[in-house]
Amino acid sequence: MADIRTVAAAAGVSIATVSRVLKTPDVVTKATRDKVLAAVEATGYRPNALASGLRRSKSDNIVVVVPYIQNPFFSGVIQGIEGVAFAEGYQVLLGESQNDQQRLDSYAAMLRSKTADGLILLGAALPSQLDDKTPLVLACEYFPDQRIPAIRIDNVAAAKAATEHLLSLGHKRIGKIAGPLDNQLSRDRLNGYRAALAESDIAYDEGLVAEGAFDVESGHSAMTRLLDLKAPPTAVFSSSDEMAIGALKAAREHGMRVPEDLSVVGFDGIRFADFCDPPLTTMVQPNVEIGAAAARMMISILRGGEPAPEDIVLPAQLLVRQSTGAARR
Amino acid sequence: MADIRTVAAAAGVSIATVSRVLKTPDVVTKATRDKVLAAVEATGYRPNALASGLRRSKSDNIVVVVPYIQNPFFSGVIQGIEGVAFAEGYQVLLGESQNDQQRLDSYAAMLRSKTADGLILLGAALPSQLDDKTPLVLACEYFPDQRIPAIRIDNVAAAKAATEHLLSLGHKRIGKIAGPLDNQLSRDRLNGYRAALAESDIAYDEGLVAEGAFDVESGHSAMTRLLDLKAPPTAVFSSSDEMAIGALKAAREHGMRVPEDLSVVGFDGIRFADFCDPPLTTMVQPNVEIGAAAARMMISILRGGEPAPEDIVLPAQLLVRQSTGAARR
DNA sequence: TTGTACGCGTTATCAA
DNA sequence: TTGATAACGCGTACAA
């Protein structure tokens, strides 16, 4: 409603002064500042973000693109991003890519139209047109051969630790439910699994690896495949909690008790992992903190800082619950 | 980079014509249109959304405020909103209220600063300053005494149907895990439960009602309270799947088998309900569709249509899985 | 310290 | 059908 002119008139100053009071209060006398602030209060004036943005060539929006909005792990990351963005005066513009390059590109194009200032990507895909100096931060995923700042965990080490937990329980035949292997992150987790096996002098058996798509359904069918093997595993390490939950269901359908007949380790630490039956042992990622750190990095880039020379690697931690137990065979 | 002047020069036309080709192509000759389009292509021109917005006094953003981003039911609603918004050329600006009035008000204030054109609310709270003509749509919740367009289900009827399912299985002592009773929606579900009991001539027992907060933890403690009763219920109807999942855990801890010793019905139809043990019988809400309908309504309001005279009420459906069975006592 | 005035990149009005 | 030009509301040189 009220624009800057109204406020200026009410305060008996020029519009420039009103603007200064709001943007750079220090350069204004306390007397006039108070006068203006009172007028702002009285008129209920709110600066027009579009006009301000046009002038400054900034929208103060950050686009966050996620492959699938209903993924609970990503929800935590988004929550972390929103928290920091809100505190710092930025808005979160949420987009779902659905693993569709066109959708991703549409959202990425918002930078060129000044709809948004920066882009945070939660999946494993990059926009097809990637200017070298577009403000871009990756959360969770990363690309070893590209210089894009990323916030993530050490997936190899985390997967290795998760597998070692199973090995320490005496398991020798450990299955793997992997994520899509076109993701660096999935390959890392598979490699961590292999590294742990190697250190225990257990031969890597490709037949014990089933690829899923991170979601419950694919975990269910991956586990079904593994249990239908002539010599099924006594334990399985899943690269996501969702897939692990699907695996739990498959185990039940096969009449296998967890952990007596089959141990299951998940990855992510989503909220529901604690309410499965049995509660899931899982490698907990600090997803909210990953989001927060990604937002902080993005904002520091937008404010003129240099992107971090290297990725920020946050700690993950194994949370042992009841889905894992000593090997019986 | 390239602004409209560059394109105009390249095409040999005025900037006005460039704008027309992009906004109202019909009023331009095919010849000049092609010429301009070629120049747009060549220069990689993207209209500046800030400038366009300033001129039109529109941002094409829709703020969506949700109480808690990690709520999986709301994630589905958000997904529905995003889908329609994307298709219609709008952006979704996501905010988390955390049930904090100040946060909600901050997001609502984005309408006055032209940061966004409309507001979709997913919780039960309203902004403290509510102009009568602010574009506002409610998803899921509603306020009977205010004229705010809402997309929702018939909560009374749905809750009644869910309770009737338990009654039809022979249960006479049916507990209720309610949502926060300052929500209209929670009260409706409680009323539906009461109505079903009344029709079966079962006296309403306030001692069998435990109030939760929609989340797993509160469902867990609510169920614990009910099971600690001298005469615990043989069945329970929860106003959310999350709380029902918490109830399942409480039942296990009390050594009760589901459904043999206790039947449990949830509400919402979240994805994980199918992967509990046992899979949860639940009243499925079309949450993605609710979001889509809310977005459609918002966009039609923004495009000048009148808000719907009455709420849009979508159908909910009981999905019987394995958490409910015949009464034994 | 404050005011004047220009320009940010569009869209819309008016004339041609 | 097209072009010239005036806003849209703000931020910031520059002047006072």
Q: Are B147 and A84 in contact (CB under 8 A)?
A: no
Do residue B257 and residue B108 come from a single domain? no
Whether the pLDDT of residue B265 is over 90: the answer is yes
- The string of pLDDT tens digits covering residues A206-254 is 999 999 999 999 999 999 999 999 999 999 999 999 999 999 999 999 9
Q: How confident is the model at residue B307 (pLDDT cuts 50, 70, 90)?
A: confident
My answer on whether B161 and B274 are in the same domain is: yes
Confidence grade of residue B195 (pLDDT, cut at 50, 70, 90): very high
- For residues A119 and A131, give the distance between their C-alpha atoms in angstroms, rounded to a whole number: 12
Token pair 């199918």: residue:
B274
Tell me whether residue A329 is in a domain.
no
- Is the CB of residue B119 less than 8 Å from the CB of residue B134? yes
Question: Residue B59, CB, less than 7 Å from strand D?
Answer: no
Percent of chain A whose pLDDT exceeds 70: 99
Chain A hits for B252, CB-CB cut-off 8 Å, are 277
Residue A297 near residue A255, CB atoms below 8 Å: no
Claim to verify: residue B82 and residue B225 sit in the same structural domain: no
Task: State the nearest Cα–Cα gap between A148 and chain B, in angstroms.
Answer: 22
**Which range of residues forms the domain containing residue B298?**
60-152+287-314
- Return the structure tokens found at B4: 């409209």
Mean pLDDT for A17-43 is 92
- Name the pairing type of β-strands A136-139 and B209-211: unpaired
Token code pair at residue A14: 């020029």
Q: Are residues B148 and B254 in the same domain?
A: no
**Nearest residue to C7, CA vs C1'?**
A55
The whole-angstrom distance between A188's CA and the closest CA on chain B is: 27
Is residue B112 pLDDT above 80, yes or no?
yes
At residue B3, the pLDDT reads: 85
For residue range B202-231, list pLDDT tens digits in order: 999 999 999 999 999 999 999 999 999 999
Among candidates B57, B76, B277 on the partner chain, residue whose Cβ is nearest the Cβ of A277 = B277
- A215, A261, A214, A255: which is closest to A236 by C-alpha? A261
Q: Measured between alpha carbons, how far is residue B242 from residues A286, B63, B216, B273, B293 in Å?
A: 22, 26, 5, 8, 24
Counted across chains A and B, CB pairs separated by less than 8 A come out at 134
Which position has the token pair 């749509």? B137
Q: Is the CB of A171 under 7 A from strand C?
A: no
DSSP per residue over A164-183, as a string?
A: HHHHHTT--SEEEEE--TTS
Q: What is the pLDDT of residue B329?
A: 65
| Residue partners of A44: CB distance under 8 A and separation at least 6 | A1, A2, B112
Tell me whether residues B49 and A115 touch, CB distance under 8 A. yes
* Token pair recorded at residue B131: 């102009």
- Contact status, residue A266 vs residue A281, Cβ threshold 8 Å: yes
The predicted pLDDT at position A152 comes to 97
Same-domain status, A30 and A96? no
User: Which CATH number do you get for residue B170?
Assistant: 3.40.50.2300
- Whether the pLDDT of residue A276 is over 90: the answer is no
Q: Are residues A13 and A36 in the same domain?
A: yes
Does residue B39 carry a pLDDT above 70?
yes
Instruction: Kindly state the average pLDDT of the residues A64-85.
Output: 98
Chain A residues within 8 A of B76 when measuring between CB atoms: 69-70
CA distances (Å), origin A156, targets A16, A113, A152, B11, B18: 56, 38, 11, 54, 53
| Residue A302: count of CB within 10 angstroms of its CB | 16
Please compute Rg for chain A using Cα positions: 25
- Residue A166 domain-assigned? yes
Could you tell me the CATH number of the domain that includes residue B23? 1.10.260.40
- pLDDT at residue B277, as a whole number: 82
Distance A19 CA to D13 C1' (A): 15
Residue B252 and residue A277: Cβ atoms within 8 Å?
yes
C-alpha B163/C-alpha B66 separation (Å) is: 28
- Torsion angle, alpha carbons of B171, B172, B173, B176, to 10: 70
d(CA A219, CA A212) in angstroms, rounded, equals 6
Any domain includes A324: no
Contacts of A238 in chain B (CB under 8 A): none
A203 and A216 in a single domain? The answer is yes
Same domain, A189 and A252: yes
| Residue A308 confidence (pLDDT) above 80 | no
* In a domain? residue B324: no
Chain B residues whose beta carbon lies within 8 Å of the beta carbon of residue A112: 1, 44, 46
Same domain, A180 and A270: yes
Q: B207 by DSSP, 3-state: which?
A: helix
Interval B165-188 mean pLDDT: 97
| Strand C proximal to A15 Cβ, under 7 A | yes
Is residue B237 domain-shared with residue B198, that is, in the same domain?
Answer: yes
Are A247 and A195 in the same domain?
yes
Residue B210 domain-assigned?
Answer: yes
Q: With respect to residue B28, please indicate whether it lies within any of the assigned structural domains.
A: yes
With an 8 Å Cβ cutoff, are B246 and A216 in contact? no
Q: pLDDT grade, residue A305 (50/70/90)?
A: confident
pLDDT per residue over B54-80, tens digit each? 999 999 999 999 999 999 999 999 999
Q: From residue B183, give the alpha-carbon distance in Å to each of B155, B203, B220.
A: 12, 24, 20
Same domain, B217 and B298: no
Strand D proximal to B16 Cβ, under 7 A: yes
Longest dimension (CA), chain B: 87
* Residue A240: inside a domain: yes
CA-to-CA distance for B110 and B61, rounded, in angstroms?
10
Q: How far is the CA of A118 from the C1' of D7 (A)?
A: 30
The pLDDT mean for chain B works out to: 95
The set of strand C positions with any atom below 7 Å of a protein CB reads: 1-5, 7-13
Q: Is B9 domain-assigned?
A: yes
Q: How confident is the model at residue B52 (pLDDT cuts 50, 70, 90)?
A: very high
Tally of structural domains, chain B: 3
DSSP per-residue string spanning A30-75: HHHHHHHHHHHHHHT----HHHHHHHHT---EEEEEES-TT-HHHH
DSSP state, B214?
Answer: S
B90 Cβ nearer than 7 Å to chain C strand: no
pLDDT at A1 over 80: no
